Each structure stands twice: as C-alpha cells, then as structure tokens.
Chain A
Amino acid sequence: MIRRPLDNRKFVITSVVLFFTLLYCGRLVYMQLLTDKYEVKARNSGRKVKVDIPPRGFIFDRNEKPLVINDIAYDLVVIPREAKNPDSIALCRILGIDLEGYSRRMRKARIYSPRKESVFEKQLSSETYARLQEILHYRLPGFDIVKNPVRKYPRKIAAHLLGYTGEVNQQKADKDPYYRQGDYIGISGIEASYEKSLRGNKGTRIVVVDRFNKEKGSFKEGKYDTIGIPGNGLYCSLDADLQEYGELLMSNKKGSVVAIEPSTGEILAMVSSPSYDPNLFVGRARSKNYPKLIQDTVNVPLFNRALMASYPPGSIFKLIDALVAQQEGVLQTSTHYPCAGGYPPMGGKPKCHRHPGVDLYGAIQYSCNSYFSYVFRSIVDKNEFRKFEDGYENWRRHILSFGVGRHLDTDLPHELIGNVPSVKYYNKVFGKNHWRSNTIVSLGIGQAELGILPVQMANVMCIIANRGYYYIPHVIKRIQNDTINQSKWKEKHHCTVDSIYFIPVIDGMQKVVESGTAAASKLSDIVICGKTGTAQNPHGKDHAVFVCFAPRDNPKIAMAVVVENCGFGGTWAAPIASLMIEKYLKGKVARTDMEKRMVEADLINNKNIVAEPQH
C-alpha cells in the first residue's frame, strides 16, 4: 500500500478518541469508586412517593342529615426489602400475634413485592397505633403506618341504596389508570353511581427521607407534588326519617317499598327487606361479613328487591288497562261488563270475588277480574287492526310507555328490566297464529308472564299522580362544588294516554281507599288514591302489593309496597303505605296500634300476627 502524507492523521484521530475515553473512565472512577459523596447525598435526600388518598365525599339526605361519613383506620404496612432486622418480638407482642403469624405475613408481603409497600396488619385500634408509633422509626425499619379513611354510617339505614365501597378489582384497575391495586372504589348503590364525584382526586407527594426512612419534609418544597382534592359531598333525595320508618315497618318481612316525589321523580325512600347494617361492610369487617350475607339464601339480604325483584303486578295493572282502553276509545266510564264470579266467555276464568255490578269506577274499586278481562280483550282485538298481532303490539307499546318492562335508566346500578312479553315470545311458546287474546287474557289482570319491579310500580303511580307523565326516578339532588347535568332528571316523559282519561281512574283509586279493598288504610284528612293487588307466586303464598299516591290534588308522594308471601294487598301492604304517607306528610304517626301491629308482625317466621280489626 502506498503511504500517503495524510496517513498519520489516523493516529491523531485515534488518540483523540482514546484521550476522551480515558478522561471519561477517570471521571467514572472518581464518581463511582473514590468518592461516596453521591451515595451520601442520595441516601440523605432519599425520596418516597406518597399517594394522598383524599377523603371520600359524605352523603346527606334531602334534609342535609348525614347518611355516610368518614372515619379513620390505621393500617400497618411493610416494605420487605427495607425491613432489615426489625424487632419482630416487640411487634408480635403489640399486635398480639405469634412469630409464626409474623413470618407468614412477611412471606405474603414478599411474594406481592419485595420493593413495594403491602399491608401487614389492617385497621389497628388507636391504642395499638399509639404503642406502635413509639417504636416504629428506630426498631421497625421498613414498617410504616398509613391512615385510611373508611366509611361510617351514623344511621343504619338504606344499605342497598347507599351501596358500599371496597378494594378495586384487577380488571377495573387495568382499565382505568386512576386506580391502583388496593384503592377503594364504590361497588354498588350511590357509592358506585357517583364514584367520580365522591372519590375526589388523588394527590401525590414526594417526601425526602433520611437513611432511617424517616420523613424529613417535602421534596423541593412540593414542586412536584399534586394536591389531593377531597371528594364532594352528595345530597341525595332520600328522606332519612321516612326511609328509617319504612325499614322499621318492613322489619321481619320480605319485600320492598319505593316512594317517589311525583313532581320531581326524586326517590324519597327505597326499602328492600331484609336488609343489613351497612357498617358490616366497612374495612376489615367486610371480608368476614360478606360471605355470611351472600350465603343467606333464604333471606337474600344483599338482593335489592326494589330494583331487581320482578313481580307479576296483579290487580294494580288494571289501572293501566283502564287508561289504555279509554285512550283507544274502547272504554267509557259508563261501560258495564258482566261478572258472574269469573269471566263468562272463558267459563268463569279468571275467577272473581263477590261484588255489586259495576261500571269503570266500581270495577277499580272492587278490582273486578272479569271486567278487566273484557277490557283487555277489547283493546287487543280492536277492529282497526287487520292482524291480531298488531293489536297486541299496540297494547304493548302503550304499556311500555308507562315505564314498565323496560329499563328506566335511574341513577342506581343493577337496575333490571322486568318483563312485558313480546309477540315473538308468544309465537315461540304457542306457535305462530296459535294464540289469541283469550289465550293471554290473564295479562289483563296483571298475571301470567308480566314482571314489574317495585321501582317501576312506584313510577306508574307518579304517572297517574301527574296525570300522564313522569320524571326518571333518581336519588341525586345535588353535589357540593359541582354542577351535575340535571337535564336528564328534568325531562318529562309522557305516556301514550292523554291526561283527561286519568280522572276516572283516579276517582276509582280514591274509592279503593275510601270504601274499597284498602278501606282499612284510609286517613281522615289526607285523600289517598291507591290500588291493592295480589301478585301470584307459583312458589308459595302470594305477594301483597299496594300502590298509591297522596294527596289526590297536588300529590307529594307516590308509593309502591310489596310484601312477599302474605296474601292479599289490603291486609299488609296498604297499611304500611298509609303509615308512611302519614309519617311523610304529617311528620308523626297518630295511629299507634296500626303501627305496632305492622312493626311487630313477623311474616318471615309467621309470628306476632295480629288480625286486622274488623270495621
């Protein structure tokens, strides 16, 4: 190869490269091997990221009485890697555990993560907390105590409605980056529906710690910290006194009470009985009590009947029939139909009880089965429909407009739909063209496949009270420091029946309570319009149903009461509704013997049942 004059430059370049390489290596020798100033600095300005979980928002009732507040719980946590020679004997003595329990907990924490904090012992008593605090920093390296706000319920009511909080599950934590494992989240009821408002916003603090892991203050004066924003207080529409009274009346009975303010759609009370004390679900107690409650298959206390139990509505459904028939022009108030202890065209089925010959008012007052069988068939078989199926579909359209058999879309989770069977369903059961209005005539009196939720029954009462429309039932009233979109709750939903047709039905309902099937429940100075019903129960004794609203003019409350397995609606369901109306509208209850009889009756074990006094 020819040597060229520039070839020496390669040595210059190589020298430059090697010079800087050696310079850098020398610098590394100094920084990493010779001086420990960086390690000292890092250790003394060690940092820990602390997550500030803000207090969850309180929940108040409509009169600003607290329903859910916060309490503080102390948890002992450990970072296994940093727990070097802790005084385990002292720790065991304070916690009251043995060394075996100690190593089991440590093992569990280490499996979760050697580097991250995990809970060693949950919910320490304040006394244990105080004793631990003394030795924490110098005898228990790697251990720390964190404060956790937990929920507290000053009144043990409305467990289903309020819902509960619990640790977020893995799926949710994966999907929503806000949550990390171990965070609390609303799981049911209002806690779940308004999670975002109630939880607030987490903050993170970076704190400087020394080599003993002792906090020395905030890092860079909080430059990188974000402030936790406390959850907003939530005012729900519930009336705590009414709710408490409803739960008292429903004690030892299975069933549900829903009370709604018709002029707003606000839920005043929602009782599902048997219920449970919401305090059972707080913190550590939850893991103990939850299985106990969920395994109670007889009373099913966790099941929110108001939103999830679908009952055949029984006679109360006749009100809707009467409204729809008038709208369709196939029924006048003066229309008479024969009743001979049953529906004559079908050989006396469905059966009826004894009562005088009736027009529409009387038919509602005495709840005549025969009358409404005629009414139902006259709607479905109306001449204008060439096909029978179209007539049925038209009837079904009317029924659905009453918020029945479809999702009401309330602001509570786990609300079901109920059931108003479709043409498709009957075609499947009976075969196409193999069913007629007489096949399904018991729909007209609220039996057969029909399924309506208590909340839907109360909503139907709102429609009648309002003469033709409802607001979607909801529990939210307002949220502190936050404007919620109220438009959904302010929107009127009209049913397909014009308001003039409501008057005869309301008249009939007034008579039901004045001198009809619920006469025992009338109030001297408040006009209650109601309707009793008996929901057929193929598994046992029928369920008693009573729906009503009061007062007749300018109604303040609409209610549905379902008491399971106790037969006729007038005996058990109507007095409960009547007492609650008295409580709500007058503030106190004068009819103490009726109250006593209702409270004491144990319809689950059939004890303390006092017969209704005869008039």
Chain B
Amino acid sequence: MSRSRNTDNIFENVDWLVIILYLLLIFVGWAQIYSAAWYEAKPTIFDFHREYGKQFIWITTSMVLGFLILILEPGFWTIFSYGIYVFFLFLNLIVPFLGTKVKGSHSWFRVGEFGIQPAEFMKFATNLALAKFLSNANLQVDKIETRVTAIFRNYRNTFIALGFIVLPLVVIKVLQDETGLAIVFAAFILSMYREGLTVSLIIIGAVLGLLFIISLAAFRGEWQTWPLQASILSLGLIYFMMMKRKFNRVMLLILFLSVASSIVKFGPKVYDHIPDHQRKRMDVFLYFAFGVGNVNLDKEAFNVDQSMTTIGCGGLTGTGFLEGAQTKSGLVPEQKTDFIFCTIGEEWGFLGAIVIIILQVGLILKLIFMAERQRSDFSRVYGYGVASVLFFHFLVNIGMTLGLIPVIGIPLPFISYGGSSLWSFTILVFIFIKLDANRFAILR
C-alpha cells in the first residue's frame, strides 16, 4: 500500500523545496545574528561566547534533529501524540519550580551557557494532539463528505479541541508569565477553522475585536467614528441574516448587539483600568498603527520607534552587511532575537526585507499546498497546524517591527537567535516533511 515502506531510502518522496526554503532561512538568519551581535573583538563567527557562535551549534543540532525525524517511522507520531502532549505539558508545569530564572522569566531549563524553553516544544506537541483528536475515527459519522464538518457541530468536541490549545496557553501565561510564548497557541484557531470550526465564532470574535480597537482609536484620537462603527455593525447584521436557523439567529443577534454596544460604550473606560504596562503597549500600537494618541518616544514607545527608524533607514538596497549604523549603535532593543527584522531592513534594505517576506510566506503557502494533498486527516491537520504557527509568528513578529501589531515578544521563525525556537520550528516542519513523504499511506 505504501511505496515508501518498500524502500530503504529515507529521502524518498521528501519535498526538497521545503528543505531548501528551510536552509535558506536559517543561514540568512545566522548571518543576520552575526551582524546584530557583532562585536569587534570577537569577529569570528564561530566564537562560542557570542550569539553567532552559539547559533551555529543550534543550527548543527537542528539539522541532526531533522535527520533523525526523517529516519523515524511516521507512525510513531500518531501513536504517541497524546503521550508527547502530556509529557511536554508536564515539563511546562514543573519548569517554574525546577528551572532557572532568566531575566525574570520562569520558563528556562539551563545547562551551562545554553538554555532550553519547554514552552517552545509545546507547539509541536499540541499540534500532534490536535491532529490526533480531529482525525480520530471515533468521531466519524456516516457520510465521509460531512465528517469533518460534523466534528465541530458537536459542542463537546469543540470544547475538547479548544481545550487542547487553551491548556498550554494558560499554563505558559499564568505559571511562566510568558505572554509571547502563550499567545502563539491561538494560531491553531486557523488550522481548526480549516477543519470546520464554526465560522460564526471566528467572525463574531473578529468583529468584536475590531470594534474594540476602533473604539479605542476613536477614544484616543477623538475621532467621529460612528460611520465606521455603524458599518462594522451592519456587516455583522448581514452575516446573521444569512444564517439558516431562525431561533439561533435571533438569540445570537441579541447577544451580539448587546455585547457590541457595550464595547463601543464602555470599552474605552474599561481600557483605562487595565494594568498599566499592557495599556501602554496598546497605546503604542494605536499610535503607530493609527497615528492617534500620545506616547513617550523615549519610554514605552522607544522599542517600536527605534525599530521603525532602523527599518526606514534601509532605503531600497540597505546600508550593506555589517554596515548598519542603527544596528551597530546597539540601541535597537532585542535586535538579535525579536527585533532581528530591523537589522535586515536596515542592512539589506527594501529588497532584502521583501526577500525575507517572500521566503517566509513562500514556506507557509507551500506547507498549505502540501497539507491539502494529504490523504490522511492526521497529516492534513498537522500540516495546517505548522503553517498556522509559522504564519502567526510571521504576522506578529514582522508586524510589531513595522508598528502594526502590539509588541509581543515572539521570534521570527528560523531567523531570530535562540536554540529552543529553532529546534521547535525544525521539529514542527520536519515531522510534516516526513508525514508528507508518507502521504500515500493513511495514518490514524
């Protein structure tokens, strides 16, 4: 039944385009880390006391990891998916108590000069568990065409599926206080959407969120926003009109209208009472994305201001490798990790930044394309999960350097400095490469 089973060649059916994109991204990232962390007295890229030297170790070990995953039978992942999920959830539960405190964060296990964040590995574990759950034979209904839709018709199943992502999100946010690492799990909404997550929930959520942000922007900028708010509200209304079941329609409509109006009315007032540092982050976002309100460019808005200035200095072709004045001044915050896109924008300019975006989006679209060609539900759900996580990172990371998204500390996949994230992305992608290589078999 399976072609790959009959051969010893582990590279059979492996999609090389993905591997090439993967390699391009990590080596561009390595070069950029070298530039961002460059220190005149330690110019060799293999200096293991500097980030670029350490990243080399992470890159090598990642490749070994990827190779090991290609050797492993793909059935391993379906059989042990829940076990892996429980194991990493357990690691995440104990790390605040047994790990090392680094910069006020409780999310690290430390070995010598190197640190590991179990939260990073929770991503692929969650993705495996979710894929396993959504492809479970027990959920199957009679007609194959409607099977997947049916999963989310069942409220119990919806809650369990959401539970898989809410559990790590809460553990990482509450116990480890890592907002960036926690919020990533929201990305799986996208893969669940593909599997049939009721679209009303997403649309209602999106409309309410949009309303909230517009109300805030209006509040900060003293806009006349009723036309905007009215149009968004009417879009919501039109959506409800299109719904089929009458009873649900009326009930939900009433609920929607009351929540929406209270957001418009009370949102800005509630906003003033949320914790200071979070409100400031939001203020900075509103300032740069909508140009409203007032922020202190030397304090809360310093990061984003620096980041945008640095990118803006790049021009069409950039200042050249290692020549970025802003990058070298050392005032761009976290430029080796979360703000690495700034140094790309400055040193390689518009062309370089576009190339990075094309590489990232190219990989995401390629993964979506591959997910769609899977015969096995498990593989498809998993593939979409990988694409969703990568897209979420791309969206938030680059968005924040451009001032379009509130600052949330998450890395740019394959490019930012960091061992755990590189390992985590490598595992995510390579498991899918292996599943895809085996796509002619049905995995359960």
User: Do B404 and A24 touch (CB < 8 A)?
Assistant: yes
User: Do B368 and A28 touch (CB < 8 A)?
Assistant: no
User: Do A14 and B365 touch (CB < 8 A)?
Assistant: yes
Q: Does A42 contact B (CB under 8 A)?
A: yes
Q: Does A178 contact B (CB under 8 A)?
A: no
Chain A residue with minimal CB distance to B191?
A13
- Considering the complex, which residues of chain B in the window 175-234 have a beta carbon less than 8 Å from any beta carbon of chain A? 190, 193-196
Decide yes or no: A13 and B368 within 8 Å by CB, A6-B195, A25-B357, A32-B345 being known contacts.
yes
Contact of A13 among B144, B194, B329 (CB under 8 A): B194
Residues of chain A lying within 8 A (CB to CB) of residue B41: 173-174, 180
Give 1 or 0 for each of A1-25: 1 = CB within 8 Å of chain B CB: 0101111011011101110110111
Residues of chain B lying within 8 A (CB to CB) of residue A29: 350
The interface on chain B, measured as residues whose beta carbon lies within 8 A of the other chain's beta carbons, has a size of: 48
Q: Does B376 contact A (CB under 8 A)?
A: no
A5 to chain B minimum Cβ distance, whole angstroms, is: 6
Residues of chain A lying within 8 A (CB to CB) of residue B404: 23-24, 27
User: Do B145 and A20 touch (CB < 8 A)?
Assistant: no
Q: Does A434 contact B (CB under 8 A)?
A: no
Decide yes or no: A13 and B311 within 8 Å by CB, A24-B357, A32-B316 being known contacts.
no
Decide yes or no: A46 and B349 within 8 Å by CB, A2-B145, A17-B391, A32-B311 being known contacts.
no
The A-B contact count (CB < 8 A) is 106
A481 to chain B minimum Cβ distance, whole angstroms, is: 31
B370 to chain A minimum Cβ distance, whole angstroms, is: 12
Residues of chain B lying within 8 A (CB to CB) of residue A42: 309-310, 312-313, 325-326
User: Do B193 and A32 touch (CB < 8 A)?
Assistant: no
Q: Does B353 contact A (CB under 8 A)?
A: yes
User: Do A6 and B196 touch (CB < 8 A)?
Assistant: yes
Q: Which of A33-41, A88-96, A337-345 contacts B (4 or more CB under 8 A)?
A: A33-41
- The complex places the Cα of A42 from the Cα of B305 at a distance, in Å, of 11
A109 to chain B minimum Cβ distance, whole angstroms, is: 15
Interface class of chain B by DSSP: helix
Q: Which of A9, A27, A31 has the most CB of B within 10 A?
A: A31
Q: Does B431 contact A (CB under 8 A)?
A: no
User: Do B349 and A5 touch (CB < 8 A)?
Assistant: no
Q: Which of A17, A18, A35, A224 has the most CB of B within 10 A?
A: A17
User: Do B350 and A2 touch (CB < 8 A)?
Assistant: no
User: Do A39 and B391 touch (CB < 8 A)?
Assistant: no
User: Do A39 and B144 touch (CB < 8 A)?
Assistant: no
- Considering the complex, which residues of chain A in the window 25-60 have a beta carbon less than 8 Å from any beta carbon of chain B? 25, 27-29, 31-33, 35, 37-39, 41-42, 46-47, 49
- The complex places the Cα of A206 from the Cα of B306 at a distance, in Å, of 15
Chain B residue with minimal CB distance to A35?
B312
Q: Does B158 contact A (CB under 8 A)?
A: no
Q: Does B354 contact A (CB under 8 A)?
A: yes
Residues of chain A lying within 8 A (CB to CB) of residue B372: 7, 10
B324 to chain A minimum Cβ distance, whole angstroms, is: 10
Q: Does B74 contact A (CB under 8 A)?
A: no
Give 1 or 0 for each of B313-335: 1 = CB within 8 Å of chain A CB: 11110000001011011110000
Decide yes or no: A32 and B309 within 8 Å by CB, A24-B404, A42-B326 being known contacts.
no
- The complex places the Cα of A2 from the Cα of B148 at a distance, in Å, of 13
User: Do A9 and B345 touch (CB < 8 A)?
Assistant: no
Chain B residue with minimal CB distance to A37?
B312
Q: Does A116 contact B (CB under 8 A)?
A: yes
User: Do A38 and B313 touch (CB < 8 A)?
Assistant: yes
- Considering the complex, which residues of chain B in the window 371-430 have a beta carbon less than 8 Å from any beta carbon of chain A? 372, 384, 387, 391, 395, 398-399, 402, 404
Residues of chain B lying within 8 A (CB to CB) of residue A9: 193-194
- The complex places the Cα of A141 from the Cα of B308 at a distance, in Å, of 28
- The complex places the Cα of A613 from the Cα of B223 at a distance, in Å, of 110
Contact of B349 among A6, A25, A32, A116 (CB under 8 A): A32
Q: Does B61 contact A (CB under 8 A)?
A: no
User: Do A39 and B315 touch (CB < 8 A)?
Assistant: yes
- The complex places the Cα of A224 from the Cα of B306 at a distance, in Å, of 15
Decide yes or no: A10 and B40 within 8 Å by CB, A24-B398, A32-B312, A39-B313 being known contacts.
no
User: Do A20 and B395 touch (CB < 8 A)?
Assistant: yes
B305 to chain A minimum Cβ distance, whole angstroms, is: 9
User: Do A17 and B365 touch (CB < 8 A)?
Assistant: yes
Q: Does A586 contact B (CB under 8 A)?
A: no
Q: Which of B308, B312, B395 has the most CB of A within 10 A?
A: B312
- The complex places the Cα of A32 from the Cα of B328 at a distance, in Å, of 19
Q: Does B45 contact A (CB under 8 A)?
A: no
Q: Does B361 contact A (CB under 8 A)?
A: yes
Q: Does B169 contact A (CB under 8 A)?
A: no
User: Do A5 and B350 touch (CB < 8 A)?
Assistant: no
A79 to chain B minimum Cβ distance, whole angstroms, is: 12
- The complex places the Cα of A29 from the Cα of B315 at a distance, in Å, of 9
- The complex places the Cα of A381 from the Cα of B303 at a distance, in Å, of 83
Q: Does A220 contact B (CB under 8 A)?
A: yes
Residues of chain A lying within 8 A (CB to CB) of residue B311: 28, 31-32, 38
Chain B residue with minimal CB distance to A114?
B323
Q: Does B165 contact A (CB under 8 A)?
A: no
A459 to chain B minimum Cβ distance, whole angstroms, is: 43
User: Do B144 and A28 touch (CB < 8 A)?
Assistant: no
Q: Does B113 contact A (CB under 8 A)?
A: no
Q: Does B146 contact A (CB under 8 A)?
A: yes
Residues of chain B lying within 8 A (CB to CB) of residue A180: 41
Decide yes or no: A28 and B402 within 8 Å by CB, A38-B308, A116-B40 being known contacts.
yes
Q: Which of B309, B372, B391 has the most CB of A within 10 A?
A: B309
Residues of chain A lying within 8 A (CB to CB) of residue B357: 21, 24-25, 28
User: Do B194 and A31 touch (CB < 8 A)?
Assistant: no
A366 to chain B minimum Cβ distance, whole angstroms, is: 66
Q: Does B364 contact A (CB under 8 A)?
A: yes
Give 1 or 0 for each of B274-313: 1 = CB within 8 Å of chain A CB: 0000000000000000000000001000000000111111
- Top 8 closest A-B pairs, CB basis? A38-B312, A32-B350, A31-B312, A42-B313, A21-B361, A27-B402, A38-B309, A9-B194
Known: A31-B402, A32-B311, A42-B312; 9 extra A-B contacts, CB below 8 A, are A23-B404, A24-B404, A28-B353, A31-B312, A39-B312, A41-B312, A42-B309, A42-B325, A47-B329
- 13 A-B pairs within 8 Å (CB atoms) are namely A2-B144, A4-B145, A6-B196, A13-B193, A21-B361, A28-B350, A28-B353, A32-B350, A33-B350, A37-B312, A39-B313, A42-B312, A49-B329
